[in-house]
């Protein structure tokens, strides 16, 4: 447990979370969903902590999405319920899913293949419980899912709905292609396309005599700038919005002031002969996710638009001046530099502890769950 | 604790370590150093486990290098000594270093600036103990260190040697520029250049009346193909060689058969309309370190030169055929795929557990230390 009072005193590198921004981001997303009249089912994959989950669920500890079974168990073990494991059901993990489905009131699984459905059918749940099965739709994102316009999608949905021991609980689309957008207009075009395709599929199901399942789409860009038709869905499931990051800023999902996380680092070396300084944050503290392609390199250096993080090795970061000579006197050895991460999910994933602060004063440490079933 | 007998039964994604290859890599490096007549001081940063450290030190638990103070404490708390914290001394961590220096028989620190030496001088060690200070040399690598041909390097070395309460224990160079090499000849050119520059500096020190410090250079490429002059140094400090990886293979440090680590993943989806399958390993299980630039994408897919890992998100990997149609029947849902990582340090860093096997039979789980001082 940290014994220091302020983030300036932390050993570096350190991942910091501004609690006021987190709460503000949570509140705004909740309000957006309330305005639309849809349920918010926040995704836990960005932070993987109990404390942040409580903020995102406003203390209800219900109605969340997870990306791994380790997260599912972590939240289940800590009083959470109504957990959607929004991942194409890995057939080696059916038994682990069954354990959760039997333990919780609502544990939802997701499929996009007949094979997965058959595996679920082979494992009937105890006490006449039904598997709560969501069908993953691929609405032009090109990752997992059945294409809703493909006739096989309807066949698979009916197969789930008609199978004993399971229920077609919902249809689910991730508009990850909103990450290709720049600006609200492009984000909303993707949001609209995904929403329309999802709603059209649900209507097709109803026409085919299938009981209308719940419908959910998500991605931080689309849920940060929702289109009105999203009010016709049942749920939204964004995740990254709780922290935001430079990637979201560049897409247009958020403003700079919304980004709640930083990596604090300190100057550990001056190298005037090559106009560079070194800081004690490498890719273990930040990740390589920007690929160094930002105008400011691997991150934005808070308060120093003149600086560029040009390279990283395991524990070292190299910073230089974008143009002209670096003023080393401004950055004495030991001085703090604050990096705004490109991809908060990836940066958070590198840290076993998050230092949570309010106006720089440390108020908590959050410890995420990590890894996979073992 | 895992209850399965073979790596085929592991939940995926899973990081696996072939113990025979690890032991063979360790043995070969030890033999190389014995032939040269230098001390091997293995670097712990790649694996960060006790078990692997024991193999690398042949049970002596002495004479290691670490990249973080968390590693230093982890090894010190578990009976290790003679630990070199080969990192430009962060001045916020002097007190933490002093604690280790006072506790251990030999805890070495490294500096490349007068400021750092002054900070050490301000914190005298108890019981008349001396700080064991290594001077970091930058022999054309361009990261940390003083340039040995710069007159300031000699001044700084003398300042350390002449300061009360400290000892110039060694000079240290990391030939990270060997990572730019391809093939033994280019690797050895860097090894020779670094060795010559280091030896020349040590001779300059002696001529200036400074007691000859130990000398150490390292990097897995250079230590895998040492030049004979490296026998005139005192120590070598490679780290990655214990696992090796595709990057080292491409540099020419190792053969394919030497690479001891894999990420096991399973097929979770078939998408014939775009000729792709999905696996349950994303960047959380592999890292993005190849930047996708290998002919086979983000990794080499063992036994399948026809496949390419073309993209990764947090928990998903997309695999397609390098040319022509993918034969989906060969990769049914749930089937195992073995990824050979591009950068073992980066991939290991994503895993809280390493599954250690001998010919596929699981014999141990290793749990690395992670993070930084807190």
If DSSP codes are grouped into helix, strand and coil, which group holds residue A108? Answer: strand
Q: Is the Cβ pair B352, A371 closer than 8 Å?
A: yes
Q: Does B334 touch chain A (CB under 8 A)?
A: yes
Averaged pLDDT, A349-370: 97
Predicted local confidence at residue B2, as pLDDT: 57
**Could you tell me the pLDDT band of residue A374, with boundaries at 50, 70 and 90?**
confident
Q: Does B156 touch chain A (CB under 8 A)?
A: no
CA B154 to chain centre: 29
Predicted local confidence at residue B1, as pLDDT: 55
Eight-state DSSP code of residue A43: B
Q: Is the Cβ pair A332, B115 closer than 8 Å?
A: yes
Instruction: Report the C-alpha gap between B203 and B206 in whole angstroms.
Output: 5
In chain B, residues 21-40 whose CB comes closer than 8 Å to chain A: none
Query: What pLDDT digit, counting tens, does each position of A92-141 carry?
Result: 999 999 999 999 999 999 999 999 999 999 999 999 999 999 999 999 99
**Beta bridge partner(s), residue A84:** A65, A108
State which residue of chain B sits closest to A116, comparing Cα positions. B333
Residues sharing a CB contact under 8 Å with residue A127, sequence separation 6 or more, in sequence order? A102
Give me the torsion for CA of B171, B251, B26, B32, rounded to 10°: -60
By DSSP bridging, strand A336-341 and strand A261-271 are antiparallel
pLDDT tens, residue order, chain B (374 aa): 557 899 999 999 999 999 999 999 999 999 999 999 999 999 999 999 999 999 999 999 999 999 999 999 999 999 999 999 999 999 999 999 999 999 999 999 999 999 999 999 999 999 999 999 999 999 999 999 999 999 999 999 999 999 999 999 999 999 999 999 999 999 999 999 999 999 999 999 999 999 999 999 999 999 999 999 999 999 999 999 999 999 999 999 999 999 999 999 999 999 999 999 999 999 999 999 999 999 999 999 999 999 999 999 999 999 999 999 999 999 999 999 999 999 999 999 999 999 999 999 999 999 999 999 88
Q: Does A346 touch chain B (CB under 8 A)?
A: yes
* Cα within 13 Å of Cα(B368), Cβ side: 27
A-chain residues within 8 Å CB-CB of B268? Answer: 87-90, 144
B-chain residues within 8 Å CB-CB of A16? Answer: none
Residue of A143, A351, A373 to mutate for B, most B C-beta atoms under 10 A:
A143
**Could you tell me the pLDDT band of residue A4, with boundaries at 50, 70 and 90?**
confident
Q: Does A54 touch chain B (CB under 8 A)?
A: no
Query: What pLDDT digit, counting tens, does each position of A220-269 carry?
Result: 999 999 999 999 999 999 999 999 999 999 999 999 999 999 999 999 99
Eight-state DSSP code of residue A40: E
H or E segment to which residue A71 belongs: helix A69-77
Could you tell me where the DSSP H helices lie in A123-274?
A: 151-162, 184-207, 220-224, 246-251
Q: Measuring CA to CA, which residue among B305, B365, B373 is closest to residue B72? A: B373
Predicted local confidence at residue B279, as pLDDT: 98
CA A175 to chain centre: 13
- Statement: residue A2 has pLDDT above 80: no
Residue matched to tokens 């791994």: A68
Query: What pLDDT digit, counting tens, does each position of A270-319 carry?
Result: 999 999 999 999 999 999 999 999 999 999 999 999 999 999 999 999 99
Which residue in B288, B333, B371 is closest to A351 by CB distance? B371
Predicted local confidence at residue B4, as pLDDT: 80
Averaged pLDDT, A20-43: 98
State which residue of chain B sits closest to A13, comparing Cα positions. B372
Q: Is the Cβ pair B91, A291 closer than 8 Å?
A: no
**Could you tell me the pLDDT band of residue A1, with boundaries at 50, 70 and 90?**
low
In chain B, residues 92-131 whose CB comes closer than 8 Å to chain A: 92-93, 96, 112-113, 115-116
Q: Is the Cβ pair A278, B143 closer than 8 Å?
A: yes
Q: What is the ipTM of this complex?
A: 0.96
Three-state SS annotation for chain B: CCCCCEHHHCCCCEEEEEHHHHHHHHHHHHHHHHHHCCEECCECCCCCCHHHHHHHCCCCCEEEEECCHHHHHHHHHCCCEEEEEEEECCHHHHHHHHHHHHHCCCEEEEECCHHHHHHHHHCCCHHHCCEEEEEEECCCCCCCCECCCCHHHHHHHHHHHHCCCEEEEEEEEECHHHHHCCCHHHHHHHHHHHHHHHHHHHHHHHHCCCCCCEEEEECHHHHHCCCHHHHHCCEECCCHHHCCCHHHHHHCCCCHHHCCEEEEEEEEEEEHHHCEEEECCCHHHHCCCCCCCECCECEEECCCCCEEEEEECCCCEEEEECCCCCCHHHCCCCCEEEEEECCHHHHHCCCCCEEEEECCEEEEEECCCCCCCC
The nearest CA of chain B is from the CA of A242 a distance in Å of 17
The nearest CA of chain B is from the CA of A16 a distance in Å of 13
Which residue in B13, B142, B176 is closest to A372 by CB distance? B13
Sign of torsion, CA A48 A50 A55 A59? positive
Predicted local confidence at residue A177, as pLDDT: 94
Strand segments (E) across chain A = 14-18, 39-40, 62-66, 81-88, 107-111, 131-137, 166-174, 214-218, 235-236, 261-271, 276-279, 299-301, 307-312, 317-321, 336-341, 354-358, 361-366
């Amino acid at each position: 447990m940290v014994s220091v009072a302020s983030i300036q005193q932390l050993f570096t590198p350190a991942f910091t979370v501004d609690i006021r921004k987190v709460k503000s981001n949570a509140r705004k997303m909740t309000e957006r969903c309330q305005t639309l009249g849809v349920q918010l089912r926040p995704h836990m994959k960005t932070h993987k902590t109990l404390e942040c989950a409580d903020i995102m669920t406003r203390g209800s500890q219900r109605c969340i999405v997870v990306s791994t079974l380790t997260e599912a168990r972590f939240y289940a073990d800590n009083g959470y319920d109504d957990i959607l494991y929004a991942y194409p059901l890995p057939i080696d993990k059916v038994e682990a899913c069954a354990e959760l489905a039997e333990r919780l009131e609502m544990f939802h699984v997701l499929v996009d293949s007949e094979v997965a459905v058959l595996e679920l059918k082979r494992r009937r749940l105890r006490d006449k419980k039904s598997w709560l099965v969501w069908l993953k739709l691929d609405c032009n994102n090109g990752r997992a899912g059945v294409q809703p316009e493909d006739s096989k999608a309807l066949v698979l949905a009916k197969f789930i709905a008609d199978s004993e021991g399971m229920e077609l609980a919902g249809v689910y689309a991730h508009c990850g292609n909103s990450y290709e957008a720049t600006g609200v207009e492009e984000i909303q075009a993707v949001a609209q396309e995904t929403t329309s395709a999802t709603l059209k599929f649900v209507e097709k199901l109803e026409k085919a005599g299938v009981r209308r399942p719940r419908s959910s789409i998500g991605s931080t860009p689309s849920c940060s700038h929702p289109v009105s038709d999203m009010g016709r869905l049942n749920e939204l499931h964004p995740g990254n919005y709780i922290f935001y990051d430079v990637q979201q800023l560049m897409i247009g999902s958020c403003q700079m002031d919304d980004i709640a996380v930083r990596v604090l680092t300190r100057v550990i070396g001056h190298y005037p002969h090559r106009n560079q300084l070194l800081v004690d944050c490498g890719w273990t503290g930040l990740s390589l996710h920007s690929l160094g392609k930002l105008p400011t390199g691997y991150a934005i250096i808070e308060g120093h638009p003149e600086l560029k993080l040009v390279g990283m090795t395991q524990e070292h970061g190299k910073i230089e001046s974008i143009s002209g000579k670096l003023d080393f006197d401004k950055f004495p050895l030991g001085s703090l530099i604050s990096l705004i991460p490109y991809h908060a999910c990836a940066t958070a994933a590198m840290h076993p502890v998050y230092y949570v602060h309010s106006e720089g004063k440390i108020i908590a440490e959050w410890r995420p769950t990590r890894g996979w079933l073992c």
